Structure 1
């Protein structure tokens, strides 16, 4: 019986990775191609090699384990070849993330970035992309994943909602209570909403806080917010409602507390449907799970905003 190298590579990848999605990632091909080669191999052998579980993982059958034993030396050669290919890909594969600069500087996007940065299969790069240029950047291949608040419509594009960015209240460090700030407390302060989105959406968020008892707040830019955080004593505002910046621990003048209100900004990720990295959907799922997991609780005596 004749086995071509592609069949051996797919069989070896499925035995090691345990799913078509992970095997396709390692082989840099599509899941449908992995499944096609796997089914062709089963047709040649006349018996099933893998069983697919409800969660998408593949379990080798007795026939697959017998085939692995009988072809040990040949599969070892294939795996050595795969290891060499992976080394080349790890040094050369880049996943390019696009986002507006204001979004990039949030702690929420920081979790996205770190989730992907710790994946050893990629080198991660960042490209600043304005809201109006998102579709063109994706279609031109300037970035692979584009993160935005408004989303990017297009027939060639796939968009998915991620967990939204919640709002925090930045206030001076003389506050000793680390519980969430309720809207009614804002009514007693002079405060501003630091916007990272288009003005209509920011105004809607401002009105929502007002209607919830937050009093009269103002809109301000991210630049104004950062200047305020560096020197709160000289500013008129006593607090800032904001999306927590990724470098919040460096802002020693302020502490960040959750806003006790269901308010925030949505977050979307978009990518080409027919992208050379056909496993992007899997990567997006990985990011989604990371954002849904709770942030670690800081030790006693260490509040948000402290280094």
Structure 2
């Protein structure tokens, strides 16, 4: 059965209004168009949906009542989506980006955010969304795009992988004459990997660093990393491999060196396939270009 949104709205209007004429007023279309949709629905279902009398009043059959019950959740979702579209039309084009706070605070996301901020087609806003809440945020219209380390599963969603968030190394002391840090340099240090991903993914990245000659490291949480970087680093930890925060001037005794040898944490963007912003795939292409390293191998600036 092939039902489009107009069919569903016409069916709902007939159920609620009880006549073709009132349903046509609700839908802002002609009575003949409502009858055509009614007939098309009955042909597809192979069953009678409404009985009309001489005055034009309609009465739903048992088949119509069953269809109404089965489509309650679908119709509710359609109404939420239409409300989201109406909000876009009322408020103008505001592109709402959702991401975990840790992702939002990275230089990687900062480049992406700034590239979109200069696009004259829309305004940009940000919503903090945890990994488990991405699906609900997209379906409710709370945000248009969700950025996470893992995509949001579902047939109604499109997920695209962006260039990964590359690692830096936060060093407890200034390392003169080292524009980058090679993995082999970690072998002589007591180091950790700052994790804001799932533990299996973090352990996989840790093993890759070790396999490249980095010696033996451990995992630490984002909270532990920030505490270590903000306070004067003392004790055993000499360096932490991390995704560098967008702004970090609070701790001048910690220096960040690019860690070019190992890919960092992945990042993907998810949005509704049938989103009212028809140009979301084009925006995703724009973001990929903004995050792609320059041809000379240097890292793109934050501006």
By the TM > 0.5 criterion, same fold?
yes
Partner Cα distance (1:94, 1:260) in 2 = 36
1:94 lines up with 2:83 in the alignment? no
- How many aligned positions are there? 212
- 1:232, 1:238 within 8 Å by CA — same for their partners in 2? no
Partner Cα distance (1:250, 1:106) in 2 = 15
Please state how far the C-alpha of 1:89 moved relative to its aligned partner. 7.8
Match of 1:151 in 2: 151
| Higher-Rg member (1/2) | 2
> Deviation digits for residues 41-66 of structure 1, max 9, x if unmatched?
xxxxxxxxxxxxxxxxxxxxxxxxxx
- 2:172, 2:238 within 8 Å by CA — same for their partners in 1? yes
1:233 lines up with 2:213 in the alignment? no
Q: Partner of 1:248: helix, strand, or coil?
A: coil
Match of 2:261 in 1: 261
1:286 lines up with 2:297 in the alignment? no
Partner Cα distance (1:223, 1:264) in 2 = 19
Please state how far the C-alpha of 1:291 moved relative to its aligned partner. 0.6
TM-score between both structures, scaled by the size of structure 1: 0.64
Match of 2:138 in 1: 138
Please state how far the C-alpha of 1:253 moved relative to its aligned partner. 2.2
- 1:90, 1:121 within 8 Å by CA — same for their partners in 2? no
Q: Compared with structure 1, are the counterparts of its residues 214 and 232 closer, same or farther at alpha carbon in structure 2 (3 Å cutoff)?
A: farther
Where do residues 70-85 of structure 1 align in structure 2 (5 Å cutoff)? none
TM-score between both structures, scaled by the size of structure 2: 0.65
Partner Cα distance (1:234, 1:262) in 2 = 27
- 1:231, 1:253 within 8 Å by CA — same for their partners in 2? no
Please state how far the C-alpha of 1:260 moved relative to its aligned partner. 3.8
Partner Cα distance (1:297, 1:285) in 2 = 17
Question: Which ranges of structure 2 fall in alignment gaps of 5 or more residues?
Answer: 1-87
Q: Compared with structure 1, are the counterparts of its residues 232 and 193 closer, same or farther at alpha carbon in structure 2 (3 Å cutoff)?
A: farther
Where do residues 197-208 of structure 1 align in structure 2 (5 Å cutoff)? 197-208=197-208
Question: Which ranges of structure 1 fall in alignment gaps of 5 or more residues?
Answer: 1-87, 299-303
Partner Cα distance (1:117, 1:276) in 2 = 20
1:168 lines up with 2:165 in the alignment? no
Aligned-CA RMSD value: 2.3
